Structure 1
Amino acid sequence: MLVSAIGFVVGIVLLVKGADVFVGGAGGLAARLRISSTLAGITVAAFGTSFPELIVGIEAALVDNPGLALGNVIGSTVANIALVLAVCAIVNPDVISKEPGVQGISEVALMLGATLLFAILALRMIFDPIAAALMLTAFALIMWRLISLGVVPETHLETHGPRDYLLTGAGLAAVIIGADLLVTTATDIALVFGISPFVIGVSMVAVGTSLPELATSLVAVVRGEGGISVGNIIGSNIFNLLFVTGAVALIHPIPIGSYADILGMVLFTVAILPFFAGSSRVRRCWGVLMLAAYAGYIALLYRSF
């Protein structure tokens, strides 16, 4: 238990420091490639910080534990909105804003579309290769649409020259290693109490794999790169719902035990809309409400278990 606790702390340190380095590199790459910070978040940052979900999902499929993979996707999607975005809105509610050349609500609409497709395919109560093919196709189309929306020249992002690639790679490596270490140790601790794989996936593992998004987004908020924060969350959810689930379903069919879990995730996803409307005070209050709702959601999971 002591070793797990130490590993947990080390994982957090790697996540926070890695996110700091990664955001600097991602912003520099966005400047070099002349794309907006929102697009940088949707692509580079979101893909990088979602690799833990992909790795956990593949590992779970290979060891015949698809419940953990599904719980991780559902839990991470909820955590990205009700935890990550909520915290960002509380820290700096003005971070959620439109950027030149990018219509924020358009990216949100694409994320809602991905969630709707996920929910419709879940009506079959299993994600099999057929569902996987549809998900991966939709993912490719959404990514193409996001890229077509976001390519605009920017002047407020600074490049570090060739170091951008090194910073991005080193930061990403630290984030992934930190997340893997944290998830492993947190899962070991949870298993001591006999928690089911699905509940572990929705709660401990989901929060652990969402910590890169939280760390990266918070660092971006502090640096004033709100586009990376919001874009990272939107892109991460699309990546988790369509790419991660699709990739895992190709390896191992994923049975769905209860559709109520899907509906809960849909409700939390729709709840992202008030973050893009109203005053800063409204956004901050909504962030507080979402955090409270998330705490209640986790408590309900453990109570039902």
Structure 2
Amino acid sequence: MIVTVIIFGIGLALLVKGADAFVAGGSGLAIRHSISPAVIGFTIIAFGTSLPEFVVSVNAAASGNGAIALGNVLGSNIANIALVLALCTAIKPDMIAVTAEGRAGLLRHTGLMLVATAIFALLAARGVFDAVAGAILLATFAAVLIVLWREQRQESAEAIETHGRKDALLIVLGLAAVVIGSQLVITAATDIAEAFGIPAFVIGMSMVAFGTSLPELATSLIAAVRNEGAISTGNILGSNIFNLLLVLGASAIASPIIVGSFTDVIVVVLFSAAVLPLILAPRRFIRPWSLLLLIGYVTYIAWLFSA
């Protein structure tokens, strides 16, 4: 158990340092190619931080453990909103765009996430994510990417530093550290959970989901502290879309995934809709709502383990 705890600590250290390098490289890359921080966070950085979910879920589905694959996706999306975004906005409420243009951009991206969530919920009502559902999710993902790349890329009021050719190196090294760190954390957390006889789906929804959400947590917190709120929120919203459409779609293609309980699907829908008050409410309500989301997340995880 001591070795497991040490591995867990090493994984966390790699996540933090890797996320810092990845945000720095992604920010610089956005400026060098005249791409707004919101778009770069919503695509490249979101994809990079979603790689752990992709690898874990596809491998789990292919090996016949669909419960972990589905639990990882659902739990990660809940954690991204009720833990990652809520923690970021609780610490720094002003990271949410205050200009009309910035707020409109966040609403567009939130709308895309809610559309992806609605399609996911409709397919989940069938009781199984098979090859047909996977194809629909992947096709929707392609459509979302087309919409994103057609967006205007001129908005950016944030002062972001570029590192020249080092940006690409920072992205590669940071991503490698994040992925390796995530795997170490997941392995250690899973070993600890299995030692106490926790069901596979609960492991996926809690320990594994939390582990694969650590890149989003580290990346978004660092971006928020560095006054790069557009990257932080874009990363979170984009990651949720990647998880539901790309990760789950590819996992369903690899092997059919049974939906054990629709209750958890409803929880994902509710937490996804809970992003809207953070964007639409006056600034003074952002921190209280963020704290409410954090309480909701802790309560939900506690309910999972008690059920």
TM above 0.5, yes or no, is: yes
The size of the alignment, in residue pairs, is: 304
Shift of 1:115: 0.1
Partner of 1:180: 183
TM superposition shift of 1:279 = 2.6
Alignment match, 1:294: 297
Please tell me whether the aligned partners of residues 90 and 287 of structure 1 are also in contact (alpha carbons under 8 angstroms). yes
Structure 2 residue aligned with 1:138, among 140, 147, 155? 140
SS in structure 1 at match of 2:198: coil
Give 1:278 shift: 2.2
Structure 2 residue corresponding to 1:159, chosen from 159, 162, 179: 162
Tell me what 2:276 maps to: 273
Say whether 1:256 aligns with 2:259: yes
Q: 1:242 aligns with which of 227, 241, 245?
A: 245
- Point out where structure 2 has 5 or more consecutive residues left out of the alignment: none
Deviation per CA, 1:155-189, whole angstroms, max 9, x where unpaired?
73221111000011101111111011001100001
Q: Report what 1:46 is aligned to.
A: 46
In the alignment, is residue 3 of structure 1 matched against residue 31 of structure 2? no
Root-mean-square deviation (CA, aligned residues, Å) is 1.2
Instruction: Give the Cα separation in 2 of the matches to 1:13 and 1:29.
Output: 24
Distance 1:62 1:103 in 2: 37
Decide whether the 8 Å contact of 1:277 with 1:283 is kept in 2.
no
1:6 maps to amino acid: I
Q: CA offsets per residue over residues 100-144 of structure 1, 9 Å max, x none?
A: 576210110010000000000111100001011110010111111
Instruction: Report how far residue 154 of structure 1 moved.
Output: 4.3
For the Cα contact (< 8 Å) 1:34–1:154, is it kept in 2? no
> Which of 220, 226, 230 matches 1:227?
230
Q: Provide TM-score, normalisation by structure 2.
A: 0.96
Post-superposition shift, 1:153? 6.1
User: How much has 1:98 moved relative to structure 2?
Assistant: 5.8
CA distance in 1: counterparts of 2:284 and 2:233, whole angstroms: 18
Residue 251 of structure 2: SS of its match in structure 1?
Answer: helix
Distance 1:282 1:153 in 2: 26
Rounded Cα–Cα distance in structure 2 between residues aligned with 1:51 and 1:247 = 12
CA distance in 2, matches of 1:30, 1:94: 22
1:171 aligns with 2:174: yes
Q: Which residue of 1 aligns with 2:124?
A: 122
Which of 207, 213, 220 pairs up with 1:210? Answer: 213
Tell me, in whole angstroms, the C-alpha distance in 1 between the residues paired with 2:229 and 2:7.
31
Note the residue ranges of structure 1 that are not aligned, 5 or more in a row.
Answer: none
User: What is the CA deviation profile of residues 36-93 of structure 1, one whole-angstrom value per residue up to 9, with x for unaligned ones?
Assistant: 1111110111000000000001110122101000000000000000000000011101
Equivalent in the alignment of 1:112? 114
Match of 2:30 in 1: 30
Between the two proteins, what is the percent identity of the paired residues? Answer: 52
| CA-CA distance at 1:238 after TM superposition | 0.2
Q: Distance in 2 between matches of 1:150 and 1:46?
A: 19
Alignment correspondent of 1:63: 63
Residue type of the alignment partner of 2:107: I
Task: Provide the secondary structure at the position in 2 that maps to 1:47.
Answer: helix
**2:194 is aligned with 1:191:** yes
Tell me the TM-score normalised to structure 1 length: 0.97
**Aligned equivalent of 1:82:** 82
- Aligned partners of 1:235, 1:33: CA distance in 2, in Å? 20
Pick closer, same or farther for the CA change 1:179–1:147 going to 2, 3 Å: same
User: One-letter code of the match for 2:44?
Assistant: V
SS of aligned partner of 2:151:
helix
In the TM superposition, what is the alpha-carbon distance from 1:146 to its structure 2 partner? 1.7
DSSP 3-state at the match of 2:160: coil
